[in-house]
Amino acid sequence: MRDFQNKAVQDEWNKFRASVLVQRNERSQRVAQTVQRLEQERQARAVERSQRSSSLNDTIDGLNAKFADAAVALEYDANRLAEIYANRFEDGRNGELDSMPLPCLGPRAHWIDCQKKYAVEPSPCDAYAETLRKCVNETIQRNNEKHG
């Protein structure tokens, strides 16, 4: 009888051990599948981030180039305007200096204030730069028509 009991206990123990090993193997497979799925998702997100970052860098480069072009154009127009007014006063009109209004003072002040406020990313100042550019061009055109 004892042999029968030991055999029955041994059989139950072997069944229990086998079920524990099967459950462990199934758990290990689920963990491996989950790790693999998460790694694939991580790689997909890394590719998306890289593409988004590249797109943002391209946009920033384009805006910086646009800003640099606008700054050069404004500087050129301002120098032309300064040259025109300097030539006007060299022609014997020095007395007019005190009574002559400063051209585009408002747009210049707005643009300079905006540049100070947005020194790192000046794109919010584009509207002020465009207004200043128009004012300078209009002033130059009016001056050319007057003194033409």
The b-or-e profile of 95-129 (16+ CB within 10 A means b, else e) is eeeeeeeebbeebbebbeebeeeeeeebeebeebb
Higher pLDDT, 72 or 95: 72
Answer for the pair 90, 112: CB distance below 8 angstroms, yes or no. no
Measuring CA to CA, how many Å separate 51 from each of 40, 57, 60, 89?
17, 10, 14, 57
Q: What is the pLDDT of residue 67?
A: 87
Q: Position of tokens 């860098």?
A: 57
Q: What is the pLDDT of residue 148?
A: 56
Question: Model confidence over 12-46: pLDDT tens digits?
Answer: 888 999 999 999 999 999 999 999 999 999 999 99
Share of the chain above pLDDT 90, in %: 30
